[in-house]
Structure 1
Amino acid sequence: MKIVIDARFTRTEQHDGISRYGASLIAATAKLADVTMLINDDRQLKLLPDVPHVKISSPLSPRELFVAREINKLNADVVVCPMQTMGSWGRKYGLVLTLHDLIYYEHPAPPGFLPAPVRVLWRLYHKAFWPQRLLLNRADVVATISKTTEALIKKHKLTRRPVKIISNAPQPGAIARDPEDSPEKTLLYMGSFMEYKNVETLIKGMAGLAEYSLHLLSRITPERRSQLETLVPAGAKVIFHNGVSEEEYNSLLRTCTALVTLSHAEGYGLPLVEAMALGTPVVVSDTDIFREVGGEAAAYVPADSPQDFAAAVHELEAPGVWSDRSRAGVERAAAFSWADSARQLLDVAEGIVQDRALDAASKTKR
């Protein structure tokens, strides 16, 4: 069985969530099956595993409507896209489309890196569910990364196709920190600064955490930074890093008190699992998806309460609490692995191949 995985959403300098998901899934699946990946920019290769690749048009190009013409030449049995937007007109292969979350129906502001015309279409697209249904019903199977999103897909009746989970996971080989070590009085936030991420409440909560510093790690526009800087309480320590390397991120995770996020919505929350895998406790907003990912290991607080956020951080100072949370996080993170995700993908692909073979045999008999 030949599997083609779309890697055209891979970034060229540093992974975002979708980029890391696709690259990690390719690396794990290639250990078990014949995998070829699709790219559209040679610079993407430095963030991708050493797997056979084919360069085709960009997923943001008008040519995407007819991309199946290019992919059909590869004689793939199944094509897997980590997004739901891949063109499928005239395809001759099984197709898996992925819907990570439904965040942008409730919070429709598009990611800033998209071209202006695409941002306009993005907003129009998320004003109703029917365009999503048109996209998803073109697949043989719709994949998602969590039970939370799976439930939302079913609630809103977004597809007639089977919905299967191909889960997210932390990077393999993480070595946890010593749970008996004393952490530094630092708090880390890793994520974008879009409004639904609710970074404002984290910053306001620092009024009750004078002995701690809050490190905002991701890249940020000057305009957004200026907006957030006006919210920093007097005497609070809030540090804008405007991007960190993987090495810097892991180093900070290994020394901080906790990773924190009060996001109103997420498709998964990969930074939680990355932190827990290293034995770093997490303090997060009380949402269905964070409950699914964090289990009993995380500390949950109301998303819009700076006071409850500060209290949850102070709770980690009680004797034995930080160590217990560190151990619980490592145990919880072990429930997620890319090897399991790759096996989930293969199960889905094998099912598609069997169904298409049965369908072809049925048509032949007619």
Structure 2
Amino acid sequence: MDARFTRMDHHDGISRYGASLIAAVARLAQVTMLIHDERQLALLPELPWVKINSPLSPLEPLVSRHVNKLGADLVFCPMQTMGSWGRKYPLVLTLHDLIYYEHPTPPGFLPVPVRVLWRLYHKAYWPQRFLLNRADTVATISHTTLGLMRQHRLTSRPIRIVGNAPQNDQAPRDSQLAPEKSLTYMGSFMPYKNVETLIHAMAELPDFTLNLLSRITPERRAELEALIPAGASVVFHNGVSDAQYSELLLRTTALVSLSKAEGYGLPLVEAMALGTPVVVADTPIFREVGGTAARYVPADSASGFAAAVRELAKPEAWAARSIASVAQAATFTWDDSAKELLAIAQQLRRQHGPDRP
């Protein structure tokens, strides 16, 4: 399993997805992790590993030269970019979302040459088709993304859902205990995340505090701070540990997001698993993840968002949403995702015969 997209100090979405899936699969099958830096091991389960080139290396197209030697029954990559030239093993590549076709600004942590290629890559669909069609099977994490992939005919390969899921190492909060008057946002500050509308809405929620948890550049923070209404309480945490994140979720009234595009929305299901209600934009992917437990509002409506928060602050409404949230989150598990990936491996093994590694 390709673990080279694991971060070295804290998880982002792709990093957490890969590490969690690796841990779940390892409970059912023998797993070897592919890494490119031993510092990644701090965020990965204790499993056998092999060090190869970085996925951003010019050598990536030839990475199969190293992987072929491992005799794998299946190689799974949590992205779609893994090199495949000369491979001798079944390969599953993953596409999480199509966000960057509509919102082409690349993540800021990428090197400048990669950001330039990123923009060019997302100007047309054919490069995506080229990458995905190199796989035997393509994985994605939601029915919403699967539908978009089929709409744009992104691959001729079978598409299977190997979904995201919350961590299950904490009990949910007591739905009868009143939460503090705070709101929690976990996510980046890229324009499509629409944090601006959350901040504008705080003008109508003077008794609430909005906690913005993720790391942020000084320039972006200054832009957002200029939008804070007079008298509003907005706190920039500039990064939190997993323990701090969970502790905040166990106190807050709701996790909130008015993001206009997501591949899944992992913070939603993480919050719901702890019994924390969510107030989110009314989008197909949030509907898929939040089910009937979430409270939905128009993405650009600051007043609609504020009204939903005030309604949720009523004790009876909050308790009902908290209970429903736990039930909805329980429909997503890493064990189910691991079993689906193993089913893919078994199917590909049968298709390619016993002589293929």
* TM-score, scaled relative to structure 2: 0.99
1:174 deviates by 2.5
Confirm whether residue 220 of structure 1 aligns to residue 186 of structure 2.
Answer: no
Query: AA paired with 2:181?
Result: K
The structure 1 residue matched to 2:163, chosen from 167, 175, 199, is 167
**Corresponding residue for residue 258 of structure 1:** 254
Alignment partners' CA distance in 2, 1:317 and 1:49: 39
Alignment partners' CA distance in 2, 1:335 and 1:262: 23
Q: Secondary structure at the match of 2:8?
A: coil
Alignment partners' CA distance in 2, 1:49 and 1:185: 36
Confirm whether residue 116 of structure 1 aligns to residue 112 of structure 2.
Answer: yes
Alignment partners' CA distance in 2, 1:259 and 1:317: 13
* Contact 2:178–2:315 under 8 Å retained in 1: no
1:173 deviates by 2.5
**Corresponding residue for residue 229 of structure 1:** 225
Describe how 1:148-187 pairs up with structure 2 within 5 A. 148-187=144-183
Describe how 1:43-82 pairs up with structure 2 within 5 A. 43-82=39-78
**Corresponding residue for residue 28 of structure 2:** 32
Alignment partners' CA distance in 1, 2:67 and 2:136: 16
The structure 1 residue matched to 2:125, chosen from 124, 129, 133, is 129
Confirm whether residue 298 of structure 1 aligns to residue 307 of structure 2.
Answer: no
Query: AA paired with 1:94?
Result: P
**Corresponding residue for residue 278 of structure 1:** 274
**Corresponding residue for residue 89 of structure 1:** 85
* Contact 2:273–2:330 under 8 Å retained in 1: yes
Q: Unpaired segments of 5 or more residues in structure 1?
A: 361-366
* Contact 1:281–1:325 under 8 Å retained in 2: yes
Alignment partners' CA distance in 2, 1:352 and 1:112: 37
Alignment partners' CA distance in 2, 1:90 and 1:318: 61
Confirm whether residue 9 of structure 1 aligns to residue 5 of structure 2.
Answer: yes
Alignment partners' CA distance in 2, 1:99 and 1:156: 13
Q: Secondary structure at the match of 1:54?
A: strand
1:203 deviates by 0.3
1:21 deviates by 0.2
**Corresponding residue for residue 346 of structure 1:** 342
> 1:79-128 deviations in whole A, cap 9, x for unaligned?
00000000000000000000000000000000000000000000000000
> 1:236-291 deviations in whole A, cap 9, x for unaligned?
00000000111111100000000000000000000000000000000000000000
* Contact 1:189–1:214 under 8 Å retained in 2: yes
State the number of aligned residues: 356
* Contact 1:78–1:94 under 8 Å retained in 2: yes
Alignment partners' CA distance in 2, 1:318 and 1:169: 29
Alignment partners' CA distance in 2, 1:319 and 1:231: 31
**Corresponding residue for residue 103 of structure 1:** 99
**1:25–1:271 CA distance, 2 compared to 1 (3 A):** same
| Greater mean deviation of Cα atoms: 169-178 or 275-284 | 169-178
The two structures, once aligned, show a CA RMSD in angstroms of 0.9
**Corresponding residue for residue 309 of structure 1:** 305
Alignment partners' CA distance in 2, 1:312 and 1:344: 37
1:317 deviates by 2.2
Query: AA paired with 2:209?
Result: S
Q: Unpaired segments of 5 or more residues in structure 2?
A: none
1:356 deviates by 1.1
> 1:197-237 deviations in whole A, cap 9, x for unaligned?
00000000001000000000000000000000111001000
The structure 1 residue matched to 2:333, chosen from 331, 334, 337, is 337
Query: AA paired with 1:36?
Result: T
1:353 deviates by 1.0
The structure 2 residue matched to 1:318, chosen from 293, 303, 314, is 314
Q: Secondary structure at the match of 1:38?
A: strand
Alignment partners' CA distance in 2, 1:170 and 1:218: 18
> 1:109-154 deviations in whole A, cap 9, x for unaligned?
0000000000000000000000000000000000000000000000
* Contact 2:34–2:50 under 8 Å retained in 1: yes
**1:273–1:158 CA distance, 2 compared to 1 (3 A):** same
* Contact 1:172–1:338 under 8 Å retained in 2: no
1:358 deviates by 8.1
Query: AA paired with 2:194?
Result: N
> 1:49-81 deviations in whole A, cap 9, x for unaligned?
011100000000000010000100111111000
Alignment partners' CA distance in 2, 1:126 and 1:44: 28
The structure 1 residue matched to 2:199, chosen from 189, 203, 207, is 203
1:339 deviates by 0.6
